Amino acid sequence: MENTEELKRQREYIERLKGTVIRLKDSLSRTPKCAVVTFGCQMNARDSEKLAGILKEAGFALDGTESDADLVIYNTCSVRDNANQKVYGHLGSLKPLKKKNPGLKIAMCGCMMQEQSVIDNISRNYGFVDLVFGTHNIFKFAELLYRMYEESAGQIIDIWESTDDQVEDLPVERKYSYKSGVNIMYGCNNFCTYCIVPYVRGRERSRDAKEIVREIEKLSEDGVIEVMLLGQNVNSYGKGLDEDIDFSDLLKEVEKIDGIKRIRFMTSHPKDLSDKLIDTIASSEKICRHIHLPLQSGSDRILKAMNRHYTKESYLGLVRKIREAIPDIAITTDIIIGFPGETKEDVDDTIDVINKVEYDNAFTFIYSKRTGTPAASMADQVSEEFASEQFNRVLDAVRECASKRNGMLIGRVEEALVESISDNDPSMVTGRLSNNSMVHFKGDKQLIGSIVQVRLHTAGGFYYIGDMV
Ligand code: SAH
Ligand code: SF4
Ligand code: F3S
């Protein structure tokens, strides 16, 4: 439910925080600096922009780093154990800084904070952390920050189990002027057996289409030309809303917004990808020629144990349909290696799918056991050695097909949205093609944020070199 009462409350706290910042400024003789450090996926990146929006409005400078900031915020991810370990590593290196400078404040939020074991660990072993909140009450950030500075001596921990509240219209500070993520839904209901996301992000909730459209219209007025619609399973958008609307209908609404030139979305679950959606993409001028379609495994037995609700054949059938309707589309994927019970033959099936689909790129992950998920208590966990052996086989297959695919556009003139000055050559800029490939070409920083025509003449590993026409 949209909660305007709460919005008002949080706006009041932002006003009060302005006083806090003035007080800090007086005692430091400079504007207090903060560093928002983000781990994990696009959802977290978008959440961090919301945190930054509130901090900026309150008067903080956003250009702090972990070593010089007065306030450090870790927005965490818990999808794999190494994500958790990384956060603890960063936290450990702040401890001596905090000893030297007791005025340094440390806040933690994001998916890890929804794990009870993490909260126990922080309250027991990381007493120097000042504020902890979770994924459901991120809209309370202004209030919690105010309490941390003005009311509390000890550690504040505020974690909610779930929420129905959607607090819209708090300030947001975007990382890029010309593109933006837009949440279209929160949470996940799929409970893939390996995955912690449904536990840390809660049940699936779609946002009202008119709220989404209103947000994108405002973004467009503010200079945004590309939006990325975000959800764990965008293909099930609309379930549970009063309005009878699905993801394909939503895309058509977004397409109507004048200033928006490009539409991307993430992530598509193969089980819910409809023919209607394929038609909508095929007939759209604005929806980009790229789909991220996580496979996870090519083995029917493993897919069943993962609770993915599709088979190798149905996945391949889906890819065939997509390629027939949209021949130049790039397809990327996620793959997990080393799921409990996985054998070499199962991995052969995964490699078979890789070879048949010819992915443009794939993110490959070694299975990580997440406490509380069904897969964590499956009996036949595989050895690290086996997993890393199989991982290398899969990686080789991915590299081979990605290099086959990259270069397919050579000779064509394509639209590129210029994103930055090229890392390797300051006389070049880097742009993104509709199919998500990068292209480098001669140009200057005036071009950043605009769409230009580029002739693609050579290809490197994962990019093209071209000339603006
Ligand atoms: N909602 C998206 C995925 C979000 S998580 C989807 O369903 O496709 C991003 C990726 O992390 C997943 O696609 C999966 O490949 C990987 N992942 C999730 N849980 C994992 C685990 N326990 N171990 C290893 N990889 C995992
Ligand atoms: Fe995790 Fe599956 Fe939900 Fe994706 S769809 S977030 S993999 S449970
Ligand atoms: Fe990580 Fe949370 Fe995203 S667990 S992948 S940051 S939803």
Indicate if 300 and 278 belong to the same structural domain.
Answer: no
Cβ 376 vs Cβ 120: under 8 Å: no
Q: Residue whose CA is closest, atom 1 of ligand 3?
A: 77
Asked whether residue 231 falls in the same domain as residue 368, the answer is no
Rounded CA gap, 469 and 457, in Å? 12
Ligand 3 midpoint to CA 306 (Å):
18
Q: Are residues 183 and 214 in the same domain?
A: yes
pTM of the model: 0.95
Please give the average per-residue pLDDT across 222-237, as a whole number.
97
Whole-number Å distance between alpha carbons of 421 and 442: 10
Read off the pLDDT of each residue in 341-352 and give the average, rounded to a whole number.
98
Confidence of residue 124 (pLDDT cuts 50, 70, 90): very high
Q: Which residues of 178-286 form beta strands (DSSP E)?
A: 179-183, 185-186, 205-206, 226-230, 262-266
Whether residue 167 has pLDDT greater than 90 = no
Which CATH number do you get for residue 425?
A: 2.40.50.140
Protein residue with least CA distance to atom 3, ligand 1: 232
CA distance 221 to 219: 5
Strands (E), 394-462: 413-421, 428-433, 438-442, 451-459
Q: Average pLDDT in the 168-192 region?
A: 94
pLDDT at 257: 98
Q: Which pLDDT does position 152 carry in this prediction?
A: 77
Whether 215 maps to a domain, the answer reads yes
- The CATH number given to whatever domain includes residue 314 is 3.30.750.200
Has residue 327 been placed in a domain? yes
DSSP string, 353-397: HHHHHT-SEEEEEE----TTSGGGG-S-PPPHHHHHHHHHHHHHH
Q: Does ligand 3 come within 6 angstroms of the Cβ of 468?
A: no
Residue 461 has pLDDT above 80, yes or no: no
If one residue of 36, 48, 49, 79 were mutated to test the ligand 3 pocket, choosing by the most ligand atoms within 8 A of its CB, it would be 79
User: According to the model, what pLDDT value does residue 281 have?
Assistant: 97
- Number of the ligand closest to the Cα of 378: 1
Q: What's the CATH number where 267 sits?
A: 3.30.750.210
Does a structural domain hold residue 170? Answer: no
Q: Are 311 and 256 contained in the same domain?
A: no
Domain residues for the domain of 269 are 176-288
Backbone angles phi, psi at 232, to 5 degrees: -70, -25
In a domain, 145, yes or no: yes
CA distance to 9, 21, 148, 295, per residue, from 16 (Å)? 11, 9, 13, 48
Instruction: Say if ligand 1 is within 6 A of residue 13 CB.
Output: no
Flag whether 85 is in a domain.
Answer: yes
Say if residue 1's pLDDT is above 70: no
Three-state SS for 467?
Answer: strand
**CA pair distance 469, 461, nearest whole angstrom:** 23
Query: Which ligand places an atom closest to the C-alpha of 134?
Result: 3
Residue 102 pLDDT > 90: no
CB 14 within 8 A of CB 51: no
Of 229, 264, 288, the residue at which a domain comes to its end is: 288
| Structure confidence by residue, pLDDT tens digits, 430-458 | 999 999 999 999 999 999 999 999 999 99
- Contact criterion met (CB below 8 Å) for 469 and 431: no
Pocket of ligand 2 (CB under 6 A): 188, 190-192, 195, 197-198, 232-233, 269
The tally of domains found in the chain comes to: 4
Mean pLDDT across 65-83 = 97
Domain finish residue from 158, 186, 221: 158
One domain for residues 123 and 13: yes
Q: What digits encode the pLDDT tens for the residues 308-342?
A: 999 999 999 999 999 999 999 999 999 999 999 99
Q: Are residues 97 and 125 in the same domain?
A: yes
The alpha carbon of 195 and the centre of ligand 1 are apart by a number of angstroms equal to 6
Residue 178 predicted with pLDDT over 70: yes
**How far is the C-alpha of 82 from the C-alpha of 423, rounded, in Å?**
28
Which CATH number belongs to the domain containing residue 80 in this structure? 3.40.50.12160
State whether 215 and 284 are in the same domain.
yes
Mean pLDDT, residues 285-308: 98
Residue 14 lies in a domain: yes
Is residue 423 located within the same domain as residue 399? no
Residue 181 Cβ inside 6 Å of ligand 3? The answer reads: no
